[in-house]
């Protein structure tokens, strides 16, 4: 086995931020208009009035205070509540490839890597902008890489499912260096008309470069990975190419994101903690030997409870840092961002666990050790 090392990570979040106050004001304006338009049917008992959202609820239930977004005006427009990305001609970079490239360029800059020395690119995120050609191939072409690229999806666990694939290829000798890119435009997937989900997500792109351990010192040795899936409808998006075929007439159909937040909350805590514990047990590592967990930034209470179960001690900003207050849940990119922002202080030989979980359900975990 060649051994696999994380050479570097990088991320790019849009400059523009939306506060809870701004988000709630636009949501409540939408609710007031909807209730006014439907007043007669609500009075007749045919429809239920929509309830307003609240800043206090969002902060206490999720820990999120701001989220970075690519198009603030569209998301906050009560008549729209979604970003606006005007359709681009084929000759122009697609929105998601362009977004991913910003993280990739930072990573190439940081690591000094020549794209020609990278064998493959895995574009791993909750949803690609189109089915084909793969968005990853567009990024591959833009940076002048040879080799191959493909797109894969495993919702918020995508980056760590991709890491397991990359590690397998590197260990077996099928590739020497692989780039993983996770451009998450979650404001495009989320349904901002739903009170219980409108505040959760933000946009961010992350990138991670993994390579053979013998290419040089430094970086993070990937000791092991563990991926598990369990089917659940508690977090679901039915958006897809069969949507038009599902309708007899020409009526529009726009399936949004659906979530039973309470169910997700209850299910993912034991799932993520169990996968992480099984991973460290397999490699003979005790909770006390894990200096830090970099967790998917879904919800502050989930972070606290998963960290406590795995580490067998109270969560602190040192042993399981949280960045969701500022960025929201940025799906698969969040675990890479959390790692990137909170790993430079660790000493050679110290170990940590990355763990990401989400729709599917899918959970991916990686046990890593800082190298000298």
- Residue of closest CB approach to ligand COA: 261
Residues at the contact surface with ligand COA, assessed by CB under 6 A = 53-54, 57-58, 61-62, 156, 195-196, 235, 261-262, 264-265, 298-299, 302, 329, 358
Nearer to ligand COA, 69 or 175 (CB): 69
Helix axes 95-111, 135-143, angle to 10 degrees: 40
Active-site annotation holds for 156 = yes
Nearer to ligand COA, 54 or 229 (CB): 54
Nearer to ligand COA, 142 or 152 (CB): 152
- Which tokens go with 259? 């979530």
**Contact indicator for 349, 369 with CB cutoff of 8 Å:** yes
Choose among 76, 33, 31, 36: nearest CA to 50: 31
Nearer to ligand COA, 163 or 209 (CB): 163
Looking at 4, 156, 204, 363, which residue is catalytic? Answer: 156
CA distance 188 to 198: 11
Choose among 163, 195, 116, 186: nearest CA to 4: 163
Nearer to ligand COA, 200 or 223 (CB): 200
Query: If you search the block for the tokens 């899936």, which residue do you land on?
Result: 229
- Which tokens go with 78? 């009560």
Query: If you search the block for the tokens 């990359």, which residue do you land on?
Result: 166
Q: Strand ranges (DSSP E) for 37-161?
A: 66-68, 120-124, 148-152
CA angle 171, 128, 143 (to 5 degrees): 60
Report, in Å, the least distance between residue 161 CB and ligand COA: 14
Beta strands 290-295 and 351-358 are parallel
Tally: H helices and E strands in the chain:
12, 13
Nearer to ligand COA, 150 or 265 (CB): 265
DSSP code per residue over 55-82: HHHHHHHH---EEE-S-HHHHH-TTT-S
| Burial letters 290-304, b for 16+ CB under 10 A, else e | bbbbbbbbbbbebbb
Q: Does an H or E element contain 144, and which?
A: none
Active site residues: 156
């Amino acid at each position: 086995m060649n051994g696999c090392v994380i050479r570097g990570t990088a991320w790019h979040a849009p400059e523009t931020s939306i506060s809870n106050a701004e988000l709630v004001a636009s949501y409540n304006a939408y609710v007031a208009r909807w209730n006014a338009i439907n007043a007669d049917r609500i009075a007749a008992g045919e429809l239920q009035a929509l309830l307003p959202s609240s800043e206090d609820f969002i902060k206490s239930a999720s820990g999120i205070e701001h989220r970075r977004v690519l198009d603030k005006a569209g998301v906050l427009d009560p008549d729209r509540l979604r970003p606006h990305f005007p359709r681009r001609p084929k000759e122009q970079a697609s929105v998601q490839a362009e977004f991913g490239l910003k993280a990739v360029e930072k990573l190439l800059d940081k690591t000094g890597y020549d794209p020609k020395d990278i064998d493959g690119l895995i574009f791993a995120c909750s949803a690609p902008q189109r089915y084909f050609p793969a968005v990853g191939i567009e990024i591959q072409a833009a940076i002048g890489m040879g080799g191959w690229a493909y797109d894969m999806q495993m919702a918020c666990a995508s980056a760590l499912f991709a890491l397991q694939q990359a590690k397998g290829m590197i260990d077996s000798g099928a590739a020497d260096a692989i780039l993983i890119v996770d451009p998450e435009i979650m404001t495009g997937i989320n349904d901002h008309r739903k009170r219980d989900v409108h505040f959760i997500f933000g946009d961010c792109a992350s990138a991670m470069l993994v390579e053979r351990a013998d290419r040089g010192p430094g970086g993070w040795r990937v000791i092991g990975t563990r991926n598990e899936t369990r089917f659940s409808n508690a977090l679901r998006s039915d958006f897809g190419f069969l949507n038009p075929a599902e309708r007899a007439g020409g009526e529009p159909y726009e399936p949004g994101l659906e979530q039973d937040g309470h169910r997700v909350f209850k299910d993912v805590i034991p799932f993520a903690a169990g996968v992480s514990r099984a991973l460290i047990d397999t490699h003979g590592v005790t909770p006390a030997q894990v200096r830090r967990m970099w967790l998917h930034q879904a919800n502050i209470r989930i972070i606290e409870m998963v960290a406590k179960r795995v580490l067998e001690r109270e969560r602190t900003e040192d042993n399981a840092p949280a960045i969701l207050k500022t960025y929201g849940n940025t799906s698969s990119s969040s675990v890479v961002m959390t790692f990137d922002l909170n790993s430079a202080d660790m000493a050679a030989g110290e170990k940590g666990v990355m763990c990401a979980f989400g729709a599917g359900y899918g959970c991916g975990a990686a046990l890593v050790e800082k190298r000298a």
